[in-house]
């Protein structure tokens, strides 16, 4: 078990694990923990969220009295790669030589947490309680975290390393998010012989999308249309078209109004096109806002300073597993871990940042040992 955090990351990153296909990387995490002599288990979340693996949970032994128990969380899945993953180190930076995603999101966090677990356990470092949760299907709606039995946690607070920014940034707030599945129904007809008898669902959808306010709506809100699919053949007036959209806001009331505005625009576009609309709105995740005086933020601030990093705070436009835990009443902060250009072929992370996050993890554990 002399493998470094970098070596472990290179190994994990090379394992393909899109949402729902986390089995190989879950097995590697489990074998690593087993080799350390640590007890761990895998829950039944896979069956719940349609993955071939469940969430992995591990509690380090040797908890001492006093202090504050903490947990760390990272996800095992990545966005789907468009090709092979061949991690290489060039000029002290890890990239994918194969021209698709690297998977630093979130395997750099997995590697740092596992290496920290090794140093704590093998080195016999004192702690007030440390737990690890490795989740599945985070990239498609935080599904693994939502299916995890949080009552198992003894920890009073936790940390997720899932922010593409320089180390030192502490996320104190994330948005609420809703997804919209909008299905326009028209009437099919031969496009060359009797087009007047048809009602184009694609035309209705196009009008709706054109009427929507998309992008950055205000300082704390965004909306987007991500997928449009419809029709059956080039020479048939399309009788259906589905639009998949989303809206996010750091203000829940604003989000409610924005979603209703989107629904109204789509209903109007359908009606003037002599089509009908079938809409489904789902809550993707709940937002949260932490105060800088909260223990979870204070502890992160102190740990970063302990390793020589000046902390900053920021709001995030995306969701992370921390949204789920905060929604359950368990304070959880997202920390930036240095990854950059995530979800793109240019995704990369500095070698030094992987090791630095190991040190940050150990500093958090040490700080929690002395926390009230």
Distance of CA 319 to the CA centre of its chain: 6
In sequence order, what are the residues at sequence separation of 6 or more whose Cβ sits closer than 8 angstroms to the Cβ of residue 314? Answer: 165, 169, 170, 171, 172
Residue spans of alpha helices (H) in 143-251:
143-147, 201-211
Active site residue 292: no
Q: What tokens appear for 293 in the block?
A: 């005086």
Residue carrying the six token digits 């958090």:
364
Give the CA radius of gyration of the chain: 23
CA distances from 268 to 159, 209, 332 (A): 44, 11, 41
The single residue of 77, 115, 139, 239 carrying the catalytic annotation is 77
Residue carrying the six token digits 């597993």:
321
One DSSP character per residue, 3-66 reads --HHHHHHHHHTS---TT--HHHHHHHHHHHHHTT--EEE-SHHHHHT-SS--EEEE-S-BPSS
The single residue of 105, 138, 239, 359 carrying the catalytic annotation is 138
| d(C-alpha 121, C-alpha 24), whole Å | 24
Active site residue 138: yes
Q: At what angle are helices 104-123 and 351-369 packed, to 10 degrees?
A: 50
- Annotated active-site positions, please? 77, 138
């Amino acid at each position: 078990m002399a493998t470094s955090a970098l070596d472990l990351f290179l190994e994990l990153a090379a394992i393909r694990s899109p949402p729902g296909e986390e089995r190989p990387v879950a097995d590697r995490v489990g074998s690593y923990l087993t080799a350390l002599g640590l007890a761990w288990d895998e829950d039944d979340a896979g069956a719940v969220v349609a993955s071939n693996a469940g969430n992995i949970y591990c509690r380090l032994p040797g908890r001492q009295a006093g202090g504050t128990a903490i947990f760390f969380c990272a996800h095992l899945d990545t966005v789907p790669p468009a090709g092979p993953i061949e991690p290489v180190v060039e000029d002290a930076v890890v990239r994918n030589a194969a021209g698709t995603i690297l998977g630093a999101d979130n395997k750099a966090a997995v590697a740092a947490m596992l290496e920290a677990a090794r140093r704590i356990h093998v080195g016999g470092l004192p702690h007030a309680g440390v737990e690890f949760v490795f989740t599945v299907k985070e990239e498609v709606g935080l599904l693994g975290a939502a299916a995890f039995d949080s009552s198992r946690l003894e920890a009073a607070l936790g940390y997720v390393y899932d922010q593409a920014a320089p180390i030192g940034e502490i996320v104190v707030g994330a948005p609420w998010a809703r997804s919209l599945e909008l299905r326009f129904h028209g009437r099919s007809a031969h496009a060359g012989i009797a087009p007047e008898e048809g009602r184009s669902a694609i035309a209705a959808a196009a009008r709706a999308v054109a009427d929507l306010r998309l992008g950055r709506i205000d300082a704390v809100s965004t909306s987007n249309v991500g997928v449009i699919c419809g029709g059956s053949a080039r020479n048939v007036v399309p009788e259906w078209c589905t639009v998949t959209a989303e809206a996010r806001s750091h203000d829940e009331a604003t989000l409610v109004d924005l979603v209703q505005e989107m629904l109204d625009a789509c209903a109007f576009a359908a009606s003037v096109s002599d089509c009908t609309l079938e809409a489904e709105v789902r809550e993707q995740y709940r937002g949260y806002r932490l105060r800088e005086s909260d223990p979870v933020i204070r502890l992160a601030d102190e740990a970063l300073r302990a390793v020589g990093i000046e902390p900053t705070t920021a709001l995030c436009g995306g969701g992370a597993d921390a949204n789920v835990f905060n929604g359950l009443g368990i304070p959880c902060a997202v920390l930036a871990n240095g990854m950059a250009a995530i979800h793109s072929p240019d995704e990369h992370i500095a070698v030094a940042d992987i090791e630095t996050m190991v040190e940050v993890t150990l500093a958090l554990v040490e700080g929690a040992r002395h926390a009230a």
